[in-house]
Structure 1
Amino acid sequence: MCSAAAATSVTKSNKYNYETLKVSNLTNYVFLVEINRPESRNAMNVQFQEDMRACFSELNNDPDCRSVVLSGSGKHFSSGLHYFLGFLLITHSCLDLSDLSFFSLNDLEPGRKSFALGKMIRAFQESFTVIEKCTKPVISAVHGACIGGGVDMVCASDVRYCSMDAWFQIKEVDVGLAADVGTLQRLPKIVGNESLVRELCFTGRKFLPDEAKEFGFVSKIFPDKEKLLAGAFELANVIASKSPIAVQGTKLGLIYARDHSVTDSLNQIALLNQSLLQSEDLIKAATAILKKQKPVFSKL
């Protein structure tokens, strides 16, 4: 397990076993999910998308999970999606043995190949959207390279921290593609600067931590990976100490409000809170404040 968690009790979770992800249980209802393909700079293959969908769906339903830290093993967060590169290699008769599922595409005529690629793209989209669908807050802790699909992934998370050695790149334009799994849809709403977003997406240029923080893509920068993870764990523990009903209801409200009008969003949160206001968590929190104690909330 990474030494960065020295100040935090960490145990590998026996119920989360994936080929491309390493899941560990931290203290106080906090889980660490690491992309675990360091030999390929945590490139994202077809198996990765299946593991992501399964992992975050399970975390969403796990009463022992209240917050998640998302990181990458090795020297880099992620070098991005390789599904489109595999397709290009195969269609140009250069065999990419890392993903055998692409071989079958060459046997299809153009119309059917188009539909097959559409299904593949939507599957990858869901492998990041599942982070957003997970009601538990997800904190991305980025170090080293975060390229292409790595940017798509962290755009779907709730909080983004990075280390000083991190760098980001919306790379798809350099391989003749439009980013298709979340960056174009989420980044403009994160940053709020349409001009800058288009500059980054049209040029594929790198941007570094200071710039990322300046325009609001990340909220904190740490000197190195060890301190980055310690900071992410600290935040995750604070979140996990709060009422799970309040935190998860807040995430649902924020995501709904991002994509709907103010009026619709007010109606949505009113409907949600007419149930949540009846929760025991409200009484526990108020009582703890009066008694200057830390509240203890039941599993959700």
Structure 2
Amino acid sequence: MLRPSYEAFHVTIENKIAHIQMNRPEAMNTMNKAFWNELPEIVRTIDNNALARVIVISSTGKHFSAGMDTSVFTSPRAEASHDRYVLAEAFRGTVKAIQESFNCLEEARMPVLFACHGGVIGGAIDMITAGDIRWCTKDAFFCVMEINIAMTADVGTFPRLQRYIPEGWAKELAYTGRRIDAAKAKEIGLVNDVFDTQEELLAYVMETAREIASKNPLAVTGSKVLINYGRDHTTAETLDYIGLWNAAMFPPPHMAEAFAARAEKREPVFPDLAPVRTEPM
């Protein structure tokens, strides 16, 4: 189950909605070692134990996140006396572990919604593109910062960003390190909508989360799985997989409840997803 507290996050679950807030405003919510360890732990605990039907991620302070904490770059690494090729292989393993911290957002069975404000910088772009839907405040700005510190973004920006925005924009952001504002982010499809204040933003995102949470969780997770599958496969492959999915998990009792609830003008009652066994059999 979830821990009582975390260093980098504040987590609440209410009405089947898990709200994960980045909670280091004094450090502009930079992604320190605790962040990389805690995020996958939180998300996988919620997912594996079916603790919520939707996950909302927001932040505190002036900025959503200024990206990677500099302490991560200066953390001790393998002994310099090692062969440089061996060191390179070890570093690749470190990068893969960091990447896995965001993969959990894409792999979660429930939708992950992002409410962004202020700066969404560097690693924060990797983070939000691993989720399902993004919204922001009018003061938000987005920046692929890595090029400005002489490195190539490596935690997920490149395979994911161009799924949401045109390739030309992805390349302009990656090559130049320029900022785009909230209006441009909406225009090119990075966010769905823009709000005047953080309060209005969170109210809308939470209302959307409540609406999703009221739907049949099996149908919602099926939609997420199949949309993501279709993104990476041909139409023919996806149609075949959709057929297999519905052949296995088409739920007549859930549909009967949906029809009955509509006829009776009440909210439907659906079963939650079942917990996932994560230990060896």
User: TM-score w.r.t. structure 2 length?
Assistant: 0.92
Q: Are residues 1:25 and 2:8 paired?
A: no
> Counterpart of 2:245?
272
Distance in structure 2 (CA, Å) of the matches to 1:264 and 1:296: 33
After superposition, residues 189-204 of structure 1 pair within 5 angstroms as 189-191=163-165, 193-204=166-177
Q: Which of 269, 274, 277 is residue 296 of structure 1 equivalent to?
A: 269
Distance in structure 2 (CA, Å) of the matches to 1:187 and 1:16: 34
Distance in structure 2 (CA, Å) of the matches to 1:253 and 1:297: 20
CA separation of 1:53 and 1:64: change in aligned 2, threshold 3 A:
closer
> Counterpart of 2:143?
169
User: Any idea what SS the aligned residue of 2:58 has?
Assistant: strand
> Counterpart of 2:114?
140
Distance in structure 2 (CA, Å) of the matches to 1:146 and 1:74: 13
> Counterpart of 1:257?
230
Q: Which of 75, 88, 113 is residue 114 of structure 1 equivalent to?
A: 88
Q: 1:17: how far off?
A: 3.3
CA separation of 1:155 and 1:169: change in aligned 2, threshold 3 A:
same
Matched AA of 1:234: E
Q: Which moved more, 1:199-208 or 1:273-282?
A: 273-282
Matched AA of 1:126: E
Q: Which of 95, 100, 108 is residue 126 of structure 1 equivalent to?
A: 100
Contact 1:155–1:183 under 8 Å retained in 2: yes
User: TM-score w.r.t. structure 1 length?
Assistant: 0.86
CA separation of 1:57 and 1:153: change in aligned 2, threshold 3 A:
same
Q: 1:18: how far off?
A: 2.4
Distance in structure 2 (CA, Å) of the matches to 1:106 and 1:21: 34
Q: Which moved more, 1:55-64 or 1:231-240?
A: 55-64
Distance in structure 1 (CA, Å) of the matches to 2:181 and 2:79: 37
Q: Which of 192, 195, 198 is residue 219 of structure 1 equivalent to?
A: 192
Distance in structure 2 (CA, Å) of the matches to 1:262 and 1:139: 26
Distance in structure 2 (CA, Å) of the matches to 1:70 and 1:246: 22
> Counterpart of 1:6?
none
Q: 1:123: how far off?
A: 1.0
Q: Which moved more, 1:233-242 or 1:108-117?
A: 108-117
CA separation of 1:17 and 1:265: change in aligned 2, threshold 3 A:
farther
Identity %: 36
Distance in structure 2 (CA, Å) of the matches to 1:190 and 1:142: 16
List structure 1 segments (4+ residues) > 3 angstroms apart after TM superposition: 13-17, 103-109
- Output the aligned Cα RMSD: 1.8
> Counterpart of 2:43?
56
Contact 1:245–1:281 under 8 Å retained in 2: no
Q: Give unmatched runs, 5+ long, in structure 1.
A: 1-12, 91-100
Contact 2:32–2:72 under 8 Å retained in 1: no
CA separation of 1:275 and 1:45: change in aligned 2, threshold 3 A:
same
CA separation of 1:277 and 1:207: change in aligned 2, threshold 3 A:
same
Matched AA of 1:276: M
> Counterpart of 1:98?
none
Q: Are residues 1:70 and 2:43 paired?
A: no
Q: Which moved more, 1:263-272 or 1:150-159?
A: 263-272
CA separation of 1:63 and 1:280: change in aligned 2, threshold 3 A:
farther
Instruction: Describe the superposition over 1:92-139 as per-residue Cα deviations: whole angstroms up to 9, x where unpaired.
Output: xxxxxxxxx425554544122212211111111111111000011011
